[in-house]
Amino acid sequence: MDHMKRTLNFSQLSEENTKKLRNELLDELRISSIENLSNELFHEIFDYLDGIDIYLAFSNLNHRFQQLLTSSSILYKIELIHKSSKEIFMLIYEQNKHKIYSINFQIPVYINQLLTSFIIDSSFNHLQSLVIEDIQPDKLISFLITLKSLPQLFLLDIRTMHVMGDLNNIYRLIFALPTLKYNKLYLYGNECSIPIPMTATRKLFSTIEYLHIAHYYTFDELSALISYTPKLRHLNLSHINQDNSDVETMLPINLDNLTYISMYTNNINFDEFEIFIENIYSKLKTLYVTLLYQDITFLHAYRWEQLILRYLSQLEKFSLKYYEHKYSIYSGERNQFVSPFWIERKLTFNVEINEYNILYL
């Protein structure tokens, strides 16, 4: 009996040892498999990861990964989205700032404190993209001044709920950034004037090619702004123009590179929109227009046909979204955008009518 017990205990012990050994071997195999991955593959993997997560996961593994993370071919995308990421960033940024590709500041509670803790200057020589959420006006001005020293800044995206009383100075500093290609300024509910000079001199021309104006504007202010961007390709107007905006005060402007306009508004009729298009001399290929309970003339296909023939001869893509709560004024009429004019140009429209709106796409 004792012999049987000893045999059973020995068998259990052997099974436990076997499981333990198997698990250890599997762990070693997993590690070995990761080790066998090439540096090039790790470069691709790191492209999908936050720079702080990369640092936490790989910096203390072994000598190989330490060497990999310090190599010049690895650039970090930093996402500052919570307090802990901010604290870790402050610990590691000094020795890694020359390897930072992008920074996304999305911690409004700490953003202004963070920007006083370090300076983004020319030592961030690979920094190409900056996204900043809810920065205070005084911090924004000083922040923009330092950005001029960045040799590769490509994208600048600023969003804030604070009232910006000096958009003139803000845009002057943005336009002075020497390598900037994409700029978005999103001001939540911010209504203020932009007293920028109406015509730009060659010395003040901006390198911006993609401009997203996400705040209220008047048409003369819009004309002044885009006069500083002769290389402009894409123009996105995602906020409503102001009620007191007079499109007839808008000066004509040549934008030879402009091929794309997206516009949202509810303070303009078709005649005014036509003047807007007339005043922008371009080779427009894409036009997206979204209108909220505005002039029903926007649904008259003939007016669009005349506008396209006169000023938009190179148009390839056209989207019209028209939201009208009083849709009954147009009820019973057929879709006008099915004539040979539209079919030949392959500009197709889907019509959706319900109790809230009419939608042409």
Q: Find the helix packing angle between 51-58 and 83-96, rounded to 10°.
A: 80
Total domains, the chain: 1
- The Cα–Cα gap between 106 and 139 comes to 15
Two tokens, residue 275: 């003047």
Considering only residues 76 and 330, tell me which one the structure prediction assigns the higher pLDDT. 76
Could you report the per-residue pLDDT of 208-220, keeping only the tens digit for each? 999 999 988 888 8
CB 334 within 8 A of CB 298: no
Asked whether residue 59 is domain-assigned, the answer is no
Is residue 147 packed enough to be buried (19+ CB in 10 Å), middle (13-18) or exposed (0-12)? buried
Domain harbouring 154, CATH code: 3.80.10
Asked whether residue 8 is assigned to any structural domain, the reply reads: no
Instruction: Please indicate, yes or no, if residue 157 is contained in any of the structural domains.
Output: yes
Query: pLDDT tens digit string along 42-84?
Result: 888 888 889 888 888 888 888 888 888 888 888 999 998 877 8
User: Which residues form the domain of 259?
Assistant: 78-353
pLDDT at position 28 over 70: no
> Is residue 165 assigned to a domain?
yes
The verdict on residue 218 lying in a domain is yes
pLDDT tens digit sequence for 227-246: 999 999 999 998 766 666 67
| Rounded Cα–Cα distance for residues 232 and 261 (Å) | 10
Is 182 a member of any domain?
A: yes
pLDDT (0 to 100) of residue 2: 47
58 CB-near residues (< 8 Å, 6+ apart): 65, 68, 69
Report the alpha-carbon distance of residue 156 to residue 18 in Å, rounded.
Answer: 58
Residue 83 belongs to a domain: yes
